A = this chain, B = another copy of it.
Amino acid sequence: MTFDELQQQIAGHSLDAYILTRGNMFLGQDVLDEENQILSLTGFSGSAGTLIICPQKAYLLVDGRYELQAGQQVDTNKIKVVCRPGESLSQFIQKNFPEGSKIGYNPWCHPISEVDYWKRTLKSLSFIETPEIGNRKMLTETPCEIFEHEARYAGQSMEEKLADFKAFINQNELDAYFIAAADCVSWLMNLRSNALPDTPVLRAFALIGKEGDISLFTNDFNQLEVELSRYQGRTIGVSFNNTPRQIYSLMKAHKIWLENIANPIVNWKAAKNPVEIEGIKKAHQRDGAALCRFLSWLEKNGSTQDELSIAAKIKEFRKGQPLYFSNSFDTIAGIGANGAIIHYHPEKETNKRLKEGKLLLLDSGAQYLDGTTDVTRTVAFGKPTAEMIENATYVLKAHIALAQANFPEGTSGQALDAVARVELWKHGLDYGHGTGHGVGCFSNVHEGPIGISTRYSSAPLQENMILSDEPGYYKEGAYGIRIENLLRTVKKENGMLGFEVLTLAPLDKKLINKYLLNKEEESWINAYHQRVEKEISPLVDKQTQDWLKGACSPL
């Protein structure tokens, strides 16, 4: 379907506008290019954006980081690019459409709570379910492999998890619960898939009956309606925040009572079990070995490398590690000014060579069967400037401040964001992203509900959760600095929670001015480096061992 044909369809339905997202019924950011309808209709490839198509015009709503890119990729004669920092979709609709306007949307692509919100706040407009518009395939039919995530990695059998879930259903006096979140289904069933390049989740819905009976839906959503219809007159729990509106409509049509109950798996899987913790630690040792081999290699071979070859090389080292499955996200390798673009991924057109005096910001990670990694190191090639060293030291101080923090169990990550940031604020510096995110175990590398940010991070922290700690500083047109380790929440002797570092790779000492550190920070770095050398040396070749010795020597 072309953009013009779509506009005709919208006019044919007498709609004033149609809301189109890049996603599918799994509601996350993870879609394949061939599934991304904003990409296929407009050419815009960004990872966030909403298209509002009217019979005669269209708006592409993007945030600040994509304003330029969107303007270059779409036909601006047909589509107006609107950058809306702080303005919500419904505020935009309210401003641009008069009372009585009819707005169509695909009920597969919006959570129940979002549609509720539109209807509640924009009472003078009509929102009309039109799943038939576009009439597109929501999921690709490329064959993919579905496989068991074995209990020796998952730490709990599907039967055990299911018993807990059955108890939850019965406690809430439900007849069944419908899980729409793919990562929750994957966790519960101990199933994974290779359908997505960097995220091994199985894209499926699950309907769990109160006897623990399960129906899984991966492609055949007609079967879903058949299964649901068996619950006529009974009660099914769903999480309104994470379930497509279409499910609500289907249940209503079949006279099923819906109850809005949060999916407990979101919290269950956030706190990792002992087997997962053990696996995650080992995965980080292997990942650290790969990264150290890469860093040692880069020191010798950097002058002939560019961003693309660097991204390929670090992947090559990781691929050689046992239990490696895939990258955990598209590698960010930004040299010089490219490092200052927070969501940069190297492309042929933008690819930069590594040159003397430049910084390389390398943010990468992998999915291993026993754990997921995500690490950023900033490396100076040749001699960095005093300014680079100073700013990198401030970023490091921010990183250490969070890594060393203690806090009561149940504190939200929201409350901790400034603990890191204040070290940069002191010098008039800041970074335009959160300080950290939750991390799954052989699952999403960005996993809710926890995080360390002023937004979306109100969930309480408990023992054995995994978070990233990644403050940064970005000088536009010049260079980017970010230091990221994954941390595990642990109980401290003083009764508080604190962190244990999981990631194992040296910090570039060329970018540390030790005279800007206090004693605690200096000891933290020396102890960390000592540990890195001790744990990684046995896993690497002689050349990398020699390199490690220097890279990990005391400040």
Contact = CB atoms under 8 A, between A and B. Distances in A.
Interface in A392-427: 404-408, 411-412, 414-419, 421-422, 425-427
Contacts of A492: 428
Nearest to A492: B428
A425 B412 contact: no
A198 to B, nearest CB: 31
Contacts of A412: 454
B415 A428 contact: no
A171 interface: no
A495 interface: yes
Contact of A454 (B415, B422, B425): B415
Interface in A511-531: 518
Interface in A267-310: none
Nearest to A519: B518
A425 B419 CA distance: 12
A423 to B, nearest CB: 10
Contact of A422 (B419, B426, B427, B495): B419
Contact of A496 (B414, B428, B496): B428
A430 interface: yes
Contact of A415 (B418, B427, B495, B518): B418
A222 interface: no
A542 to B, nearest CB: 41
A116 to B, nearest CB: 13
Number of copies: 2
Nearest to A416: B418
Contact of A425 (B421, B427, B428, B496): B496
A142 interface: no
A506 B407 CA distance: 30
Contact of A405 (B407, B414, B425): B425
Nearest to A427: B494
Contacts of A411: 418
Nearest to A424: B406
A426 B402 CA distance: 11
A430 B408 contact: yes
Contacts of A494: 426-428
A428 B493 CA distance: 8
Given A412-B454, A454-B412, A406 B419 contact: no
A64 to B, nearest CB: 16
Contacts of A408: 425, 430
A418 B408 CA distance: 11
A419 B418 CA distance: 7
A192 to B, nearest CB: 37
Contact of A406 (B414, B415, B428): B428
A419 B412 CA distance: 14
A425 B415 CA distance: 13
Interface string A195-206: 000000000000
Contacts of A421: 407
Contacts of A428: 406, 492, 494-496
A85 B416 CA distance: 24
A496 B425 CA distance: 7
Interface in A414-467: 414-419, 421-422, 425-428, 430, 454
A417 to B, nearest CB: 6
A380 B430 CA distance: 41
A228 B256 CA distance: 48
A426 B406 contact: yes
B425 A407 contact: yes
Nearest to A494: B428
A492 B426 CA distance: 10
Nearest to A518: B518
A434 to B, nearest CB: 12
Interface string A113-151: 000000000000000000000000000000000000000
Given A428-B494, A496-B428, A407 B418 contact: yes
A409 to B, nearest CB: 11
A48 B277 CA distance: 45
A82 B494 CA distance: 32
Contacts of A415: 414, 417-418, 454
A376 B4 CA distance: 70
Contacts of A454: 412, 414-415
Nearest to A408: B430
Q: Which 10 A-B pairs have the closest CB atoms?
A: A428-B494, A406-B425, A415-B418, A407-B425, A428-B495, A406-B426, A405-B422, A419-B422, A418-B419, A425-B496
15 contacts: A405-B418, A405-B426, A406-B425, A406-B428, A407-B421, A412-B454, A414-B415, A415-B417, A415-B454, A418-B419, A419-B422, A426-B494, A427-B494, A428-B494, A428-B496
Given A408-B430, A411-B418, 7 more contacts: A406-B425, A407-B421, A415-B418, A418-B419, A419-B419, A428-B494, A518-B518
